[in-house]
Amino acid sequence: MNPLRLISHRFQRAPIRHKLSAIIALTCGVGIVVAGAAVFGFHAYTLRTAFQRDVVALAAVVAENLAGPLTFKDPRAALEVLHSLKAKPQIAAAIVRRLDGEVLARVGSTAPAAETSTAIATDFTGWQLQATLPVQVRGETVGTFSLAADFRTTFLDSLGAFVLSLLGICAAALTAALGVGYWLQRFITLPVLRLSRAAAQIGERQDYSVRVAPAGADELGVLTAAFNAMLERIHASDTELRRMNAILTKEIEQRQQLQSELVETSRLAGMAEVATGVLHNVGNVLNSVNVSAGVMREQLQQSRLATLRRVAGLLTTHSDNLAGFFATDEKGRRVPAFLARIVDQLDFEQRRFDTELKGLAANIEHIKEIVAMQQTYAKASALIEEVDLGQLIEQVISIHRSSLQRHLVQVAREFPPSLPSVPTDRHKILQVLTNFVANAIHALKTNPAAQRRLTIAIRPALGTGELALSVSDNGEGIHPDNLKKIFRQGFTTRREGHGFGLHSGVLIVKALGGTLDVESPGPGLGSTFTLRLPLRPAARGRATAHATPIPPSAFAPRAASLRDSGNHRPPPRASISRPLSA
C-alpha cells in the first residue's frame, strides 16, 4: 500500500484523542520548523556577515602580531604567530608576505591569492573567504597578511547546533503543546468519548436507558442533547416494541396452538374424507350387490317351481298308466311341451343367476379391495417413501370406480407409462387426490351424461424440479370470488360439504414441500386442481434446480388412455391461480 494512504488509513482509524494530539503535534511541529527555518535563514545570513567580520578582525589581530616578525624579517616568529591560527579550524590557509612579495611564512594548503594591498580586501566566494590586510607599523606598510577561511565548517557547526536546539525546542514545545492540548482536549474528546461509550453500551446491552452527561452549549453539547433525545425516543419505541413483541409472541403461541389443533383437526378431517370416500364407494358397490340380490330374489319369486311341482303331482297320480295319461288326457298331452318350456325357463334363470352371482362376487371382491386399501393407508401414516404416482392414481380411480361408472364419467389419463417415483407420503397424497376426484365427480353431476370428463395428467413443472399432477374436469366450474376462498378452512359450496377437504389438502401438501393451485375459467367451465411435488424429499427444502430433470418427451399424452376426450379445453388465460404459500 502507498505509505501515504497507509498513514491516512491509520489516521482515520485512530481515536479522536490521538487525532487531536497528532494535529496539535503536527501543527506545532510545522510551525516551529517553518519559524526555525526562517530564523535559521536570517541566522545564516548574519552568521556569514559575522564570519566575515570575525575573520577580518582575526586577520587584523594576526596582522598586528605579524608587524614585529615582518619588521624584523623573522619567519620563525611569523610562523609562530600563524600557528596560533590552528585553534581556528575554519582557517584554511594563511600567508605572510613582505612588501617585495616574498613569502615570509605560510600555513595551510590552499594558497591565498598573491596580492599586496595597502587596504583591507575581502573576497567571499561560495564557502571560501579570503581576506588580505596590510601589516603596518606606525602607518608604514611593512607587508601583507592573507587569510583563507572556510565558512562551511562554521555554517555546518552552527546548523548542527541550530538543528539540535530546534529539536530541543520542538520537543519542549510539543511536550508543552501536548500537555496543554491534553488538558484542552477534554472539552472535545470527553463528550465524544461519552457518546461513544454510551453508543457501545447500547450496542452491547441493548440498553436504551443510558444517558450521556450534558456537555456545554457548543456543537458537542447540542449533539449530546440530540443523542439523549434520540435515546429517549428509541427507549420509548423500544419499550413499546417490547410490549408489542410480548403481545405478538403470545399471539403467535396461541396461533401455533390453534394451528396444531387445526392440523390435527385437518388430519382427522382428511382421514374422514378418505373414510367417507371409502364408505361412499363401498355403499355404491353394496348398492350393486343389493340390486343383484333383488334381481335374483325377483327371479326366484317368478320361478315356475310350483307349476313343475303340480306336473310332478300329476305324473305321480298317473304313474300306473302314464302312457294313457300322455296319450289321452288333455293335461297329459300338454306335459312334454310344458317341460320343454320349464327347461328353457330354468336355463334362462341359471344363466341370469350365474351372471348376477358373478357380479355379486366381483362387487364383494371390490369391497374387500377398498377396505383393504383404506386399511393399508391408515397404517402407513407419515411415512416418506418413493411413491409411484401412476400406481397411486390407479388406486384413486379404483376407489372411485363405482362412482365414476355410475355417473358415466369418462376418465382420461395423460401421463407416460413410466414415471419417476416421488419421495412423499403415499397416504396423504392419496387423501388429497381422492378429495380431488370426489370433488370432480361432484362437479360433473350437473353435466349431461355424455359430457362428463375427468382428466388426470402429470407434467413436469419445467425448471423447478417438481412434478405437477393435475385433476381437471369440465364440470360446474368455480366462481372467481370463490377461487380466492376455496382453500380456506370451512369453505364449501356443497350442502353436505364440511370445508375441510381442500384446506387439509393445502396443509398436507405444504408439509410435504409442495404446492396446491386451482384454476377455473368460471362457472360452468370446469376447473383444474394442480398438485406440485418436489422430486427431492421435502426435508431437503423446496425443489431446486439440481433435481433430476425429466425429459419432456416422457410426458407426452398417453396413447392408451381410456377414452381420449379429444376436445379438451386449454387452460384459461384469465384463470386465477392461488399458490399454496399465500
What does the binding site for other proteins look like in residue numbers (CB under 8 A)? Answer: 64-65, 67-69, 71-77, 81, 102, 137-138, 140
Tell me, rounded to whole angstroms, the distance of Cα 422 from its chain centroid.
Answer: 28
Query: Where do we find the cell 289321452?
Result: 328
Q: By C-beta, is 64 or 564 nearer to other proteins?
A: 64
Q: Which secondary structure element, helix H or strand E, spans residue 167, and what is its range?
A: helix 151-205
- Residues 192, 15 contacting (CB under 8 angstroms): no
Q: 511: Cβ–Cβ under 8 A, 6 or more apart, which residues?
A: 428, 538
Q: By C-beta, is 63 or 220 nearer to other proteins?
A: 63
Q: By C-beta, is 76 or 250 nearer to other proteins?
A: 76
Q: By C-beta, is 69 or 416 nearer to other proteins?
A: 69
Q: By C-beta, is 69 or 390 nearer to other proteins?
A: 69
428-438 as b/e, with b when 16 or more CB fall inside 10 Å? bbbbbbbbbbb
Q: By C-beta, is 64 or 394 nearer to other proteins?
A: 64
- Residues 214, 221 contacting (CB under 8 angstroms): yes
**For residue 457, what are the CA distances in angstroms to 60, 435, 469, 471, 529?**
127, 16, 6, 7, 10
- Residues 480, 522 contacting (CB under 8 angstroms): yes
In angstroms, give the least distance from the CB of 138 to other proteins.
5
In angstroms, give the least distance from the CB of 80 to other proteins.
9
Q: By C-beta, is 54 or 64 nearer to other proteins?
A: 64
CA dihedral sign, ordered 265, 266, 270, 271: negative
| Nine-digit cell string for 359 | 357380479
Query: Where do we find the cell 414415471?
Result: 419
Q: By C-beta, is 58 or 192 nearer to other proteins?
A: 58
In angstroms, give the least distance from the CB of 51 to other proteins.
27
| Nine-digit cell string for 507 | 396443509
DSSP code of residue 371 = H
In angstroms, give the least distance from the CB of 44 to other proteins.
36
In angstroms, give the least distance from the CB of 74 to other proteins.
6
Tell me, rounded to whole angstroms, the distance of Cα 505 from its chain centroid.
Answer: 30
In angstroms, give the least distance from the CB of 79 to other proteins.
12
CA dihedral (72, 77, 81, 82) in degrees, to 10, reads 100
- Residues 473, 569 contacting (CB under 8 angstroms): no
Cβ burial, residue 42 (10 Å; 0-12/13-18/19+):
exposed
Question: Cα(271)–Cα(382) distance, rounded to whole angstroms?
Answer: 12
In angstroms, give the least distance from the CB of 107 to other proteins.
18
Q: By C-beta, is 73 or 186 nearer to other proteins?
A: 73
